[in-house]
Structure 1
């Protein structure tokens, strides 16, 4: 049986995903206003690769993620939106992990480490919440076939 969207877990998940989305809006603004700030806060290993264009691109990616996550927090019972939001956390983790371990453009500092930790926690929370929110929908589809 699926958990009600009024359950404590779902309320906490909604707040968490919404706060992460709203926080990303702040990161978007700073990326657009000063794209080269990324060279001082994120890409400290190879700051020469960062310019205003990279800042705007990073800001746009962050804005899209923020939009998806805030929408998911508002419409937590939308399975496609939930899945896209969950994937956005997985993508963020893969991006920062690859920049750290493969491309070696970042050091383990507060900015990249917080992105890795938050994306991991968020993905795990959403993974735990998935069967709780959508078990009934999945079972219903299987019965119709």
Structure 2
């Protein structure tokens, strides 16, 4: 167990400086648990996100959402550790654009989301991350937009 903790500590020390990589790591860890719950805890939490039309949320759509969330988590996890790489930075940034477009279309077009706690979390995380990453790209990658 101490070897695992040593490895984790060494990995955390190799992260790029600043709070943005730590934010991406935090969001990734939260997303892992969110992904897992879509497979095991039923529909309750996923239906909170899609509260506008909760009956349209099925076990299949919840698991698909969990898989999509996990893929996004992996991209953002790589971003946390390799934020200085322009292509990784852009990929992490794009993952938040995809999330914002998805949740925005579900709110405005398909009307499956409503302004509640289940929806506000993804909305706040995606917009905050996009603004933060947009403003910090040159600092981390050395390349302006």
In which range does the TM-score fall when normalised by the shorter chain?
0.7 to 0.9
Q: Larger deviation: 55-64 or 75-84?
A: 75-84
Conserved in 1, the CA contact under 8 Å of 2:35 and 2:66?
Answer: yes
For the aligned residue pairs, the C-alpha RMSD in angstroms reads 1.9
CA drift of 1:134 comes to 2.5
Alpha-carbon displacement from aligned partner over 1:117-141 (angstroms, at most 9, x marks no partner): 1100001111111122233x57xxx
What is the alpha-carbon distance in structure 2 between the residues aligned to residue 86 and residue 35 of structure 1?
30
Contact 2:36–2:66 at 8 Å: present in 1 too?
Answer: yes
**Aligned partners of 2:29 and 2:54: how far apart in 1?**
27
**CA apart distance, 1:75:** 1.2
What is the Cα deviation at residue 10 of structure 1? 4.3
Aligned to 2:39: 32
Query: What's the offset of the Cα at 1:91?
Result: 1.0
Q: Within the alignment, does 1:128 sit opposite 2:135 as a pair? A: yes
Gaps of 5+ in 2: 1-12
- Aligned with residue 29 of structure 2, among 22, 25, 28: 22
Match of 1:104 in 2: 111
1:67 aligns with 2:74: yes
Radius of gyration: which is bigger?
1
Q: Name which of structure 1's ranges 47-56 and 35-44 shifts more when overlaid on structure 2.
A: 35-44
Question: Which residue does 2:58 correspond to in 1?
Answer: 51
Match of 1:77 among 65, 81, 84: 84
- 2-structure distance, mates of 1:39, 1:86: 24
Q: Residue 11 of structure 1 corresponds to which residue in structure 2? A: 18
Q: How does 1:130-145 map to 2 (within 5 A)?
A: 130-135=137-142
Distance 2:17 2:97 in 1: 20
Q: TM-score, normalised by structure 2?
A: 0.82
Larger displacement relative to structure 2 (33-42 or 91-100): 33-42
TM-score normalised by length of structure 1? 0.82
